[in-house]
Amino acid sequence: MSVYFEKVTVLGVGLLGASIARAMKARAMCGSVTGYGRSIRNLEEAVSLGIIDEFRTSAEQACEEADLVVLSSPPAVFNSLVSSVKNSLKSGALVTDVGSVKGSMVSEIESLMPSGAHYVGSHPIAGSEKSGIADSNADLFDSALCIVTPTAKTDKDALKKITGLWVGVGAVVEIMDPFRHDEVYAAVSHFPHLLAYELVNTVAEADPGHLKYAGQGFRDTTRIAMSSPELWRDICMLNSEELIKLIAVFRKRLDSMEERLRNKEAGRIEAEFIKAAGVRKSMNPASRSHHGE
Amino acid sequence: MSVYFEKVTVLGVGLLGASIARAMKARAMCGSVTGYGRSIRNLEEAVSLGIIDEFRTSAEQACEEADLVVLSSPPAVFNSLVSSVKNSLKSGALVTDVGSVKGSMVSEIESLMPSGAHYVGSHPIAGSEKSGIADSNADLFDSALCIVTPTAKTDKDALKKITGLWVGVGAVVEIMDPFRHDEVYAAVSHFPHLLAYELVNTVAEADPGHLKYAGQGFRDTTRIAMSSPELWRDICMLNSEELIKLIAVFRKRLDSMEERLRNKEAGRIEAEFIKAAGVRKSMNPASRSHHGE
């Protein structure tokens, strides 16, 4: 399916916003791209690199005449951004986002849409611990998984077009309920980020001098602790309920492990490790369609 | 400094034992290598691959006439292995190990040495989640860090020779107190392994179906959960005291994080993430001398 949007507006020109702009331009999927963001300098750089064609210093102005609006700012401001631009949206405008949290946000944004404009939530599983336009590229979504999260109210034609957008930039689309999405990604992404941040802080708290002895294992385990603190603060706040559930499961496991260490229950410790190693090995090799975070 | 051992015995022919044999042979640092292990099939394969020259089915016999004995079995059996071979050690024999835990084990093994034989503990930071001879190679220790852990009683000449052994196979040697070693490696290696195993089990417990959505972040964070359950059981048991201390620090941090999530304290959550990201970024780029785990 081929989709084309004459005027695309990217609200937030970071790694994902810049990559979607580049990906659409590279594939002739749009006429022009307008950017909006907090940093004029970043927007100017994006124009000079040819990532966007122009920018506006007001989100409302940036969305006037837009055929497609992509929310790619920190996800905590999606709602307020949409509230401020909704009166600029023309009839037929489509809105999507690239946020890592969906849940109740999807129906909230949906309910803000003016007549004739439609929102469909998206979560392309792409990107990394990097966060700026310098690392953006036109092929970021190539073979990446993209979760699209319609609701019972989602316009069927809008869903088709947003699916077409992601397929067009090379992604593999999977449809998922917004709340199921948050449960899944809390487990495989949000909670692991929380653990990685806390592991680094735990070691630094124990003795910062330890860190110079860290090998590749520690480096790999904590690579995602280099991710944008602002973005992950937002994700954790928006998906706090699922995170709190996982913390409870994890804490119980950690308490059991401590008991086993105290009681020298080698066999039971090994049994847990065997279980984990088996599960983890069954995930290999890494699929190209899951190469992002 | 050039060291040469006429007869080398490797007790445990796995990734590390096979790699030390290969590394010494490749650099003409030994006359012959005798292997001992639990699996005859593995020993036969090691002979056919030229990794070892011969093997014995008794550890005592394998150590007769040895100039250098390398303990490279699972670390939990180092003590009993040394107890069973000590009467076979000739005067002048040197014993070292490649274990990830030192602490009290070092003086325990030291006290088992017969007159004229000397033990010096080593921990080459090499290897990965792999554990068999198939992944062994002669350059595994090239530019790797190797911690050598003498005590007040360590024979100076033996220390020089064991240091020479590791420098000879390409490692960068650092001398460290055995207990300090365990504190450091609990933080940067043992506890991260425990967390990785528990993270995988937590996600599987929440819903095994989640795992197919895991991206590169989850894969990297849990790569070390594919490590040998038997080896890591031993390491965790042997270093349980340091692990229990770190679990306490970590649990307290996780409890605080949960409170912050419940109370929607976005600023304090971000502050923790900023701290961790800063610490983690300050560790880059990975040094070649710390490429193992």
CB-CB under 8 Å, A208 with B233: no
What is the mean predicted confidence (pLDDT) over A74-97? 96
Q: B243–A221: do the CB atoms touch at under 8 Å?
A: no
Q: Do B210 and A257 touch (CB under 8 A)?
A: no
**Most A CBs within 10 Å, among B273, B275, B281, B283, to test the A interface:** B273
B202 interfaces chain A, CB cutoff of 8 Å: yes
CB contact A185 to B (< 8 Å): yes
What per-residue confidence (pLDDT) applies to B288?
44
Chain B residues close to A256, C-beta within 8 Å: none
B269 shares contact with chain A (CB less than 8 Å): yes
- pLDDT of B219: 94
CA atoms within a 13 Å half-sphere pointing along the CA-CB vector of A230: 9
CB atoms within 10 A of CB A62: 23
Mean pLDDT calculated for residue range B200-213: 96
Is residue A86 predicted with pLDDT exceeding 60? Answer: yes
Query: For chain B, where are the E strands, in sequence order?
Result: 5-11, 30-36, 54-55, 68-71, 94-97, 118-119, 121-124, 145-149, 172-175
What's the pLDDT tens digit per position in A93-124? 999 999 999 999 999 999 999 999 999 999 99
Say yes or no to pLDDT of B291 above 70.
no
Q: Which of A101, A133, A114 is nearest to A20 (CA)?
A: A133
Whether A213 and chain B come into contact, CB under 8 Å, resolves to yes
Domain B180-290: CATH architecture, name and number where available: Orthogonal Bundle (1.10)
- What distance in Å separates the CA atoms of residue A147 and residue A79, rounded to the nearest whole number? 20
Structure tokens at A94: 């489509």
> What pLDDT, on a 0 to 100 scale, did the predictor assign at position B253?
98
In percent, the amount of chain A with pLDDT more than 90 equals: 92
Query: Where, residue-wise, is CATH 3.40.50.720 in chain A?
Result: 5-176
Averaged pLDDT score across all residues of chain B: 94
> In this complex, do A210 and B187 lie within 8 Å of one another by their Cβ atoms?
yes
Q: Which residue in this structure is represented by tokens 């011969």?
A: B54
| Cα–Cα distance, A142 to B227 (Å, whole number) | 31
- Cβ contacts of A274 on chain B, cutoff 8 Å: 229
- Average pLDDT over every residue of B70-81: 95
In the predicted model, what is the mean pLDDT of residues B114-126? 96
CA-CA distances (angstroms) from residue B169 to A50, B15, B68?
Answer: 51, 15, 15
The minimal CB distance from A279 to the residues B211, B213, B215 is found for B211
Over range A266-293, report the average pLDDT.
80
CB contact (8 A) between residue B261 and residue A243: yes
Stated pTM of the model: 0.89
Q: In terms of DSSP bridges, do strands B121-124 and B145-149 run parallel, antiparallel, or are they unpaired? A: antiparallel
**CATH 1.10.3660.10 domain range(s) in chain A:** 180-290
Q: Cα separation of B73 and B88, whole Å?
A: 18
B293 neighbourhood in chain A, CB within 8 Å: 215-218
Using pLDDT thresholds of 50, 70 and 90, give the confidence band for residue B290.
Answer: very low
For position A288, what pLDDT does the model report?
44
- In this prediction, residue B108 carries a pLDDT of 96
Asked if A3 has any chain B CB less than 8 Å from its own CB, the reply is: no
Q: Residue B123: which of B176, B86, B84, B66 has the closest Cα?
A: B176
> In this structure, which amino acid lies at residue A87?
N
Burial of A142: CB neighbours in 10 Å, binned 0-12, 13-18, 19+: middle
Q: H or E stretch including B162?
A: helix B156-168
A250 touches chain B (CB under 8 A): yes
Quick check: A64 and A88 in contact, CB under 8 A? yes
Whole-complex ipTM: 0.89
Render pLDDT for B225-255 as a digit per residue (tens, 0 to 9). 999 999 999 999 999 999 999 999 999 999 9
**pLDDT tens, position by position, A224-252:** 999 999 999 999 999 999 999 999 999 99
**pLDDT of A207 strictly over 60:** yes
Domain B5-176 has CATH 3.40.50.1820: no
pLDDT of B180: 98
Distance from C-alpha of B209 to C-alpha of A171, rounded to nearest angstrom:
21
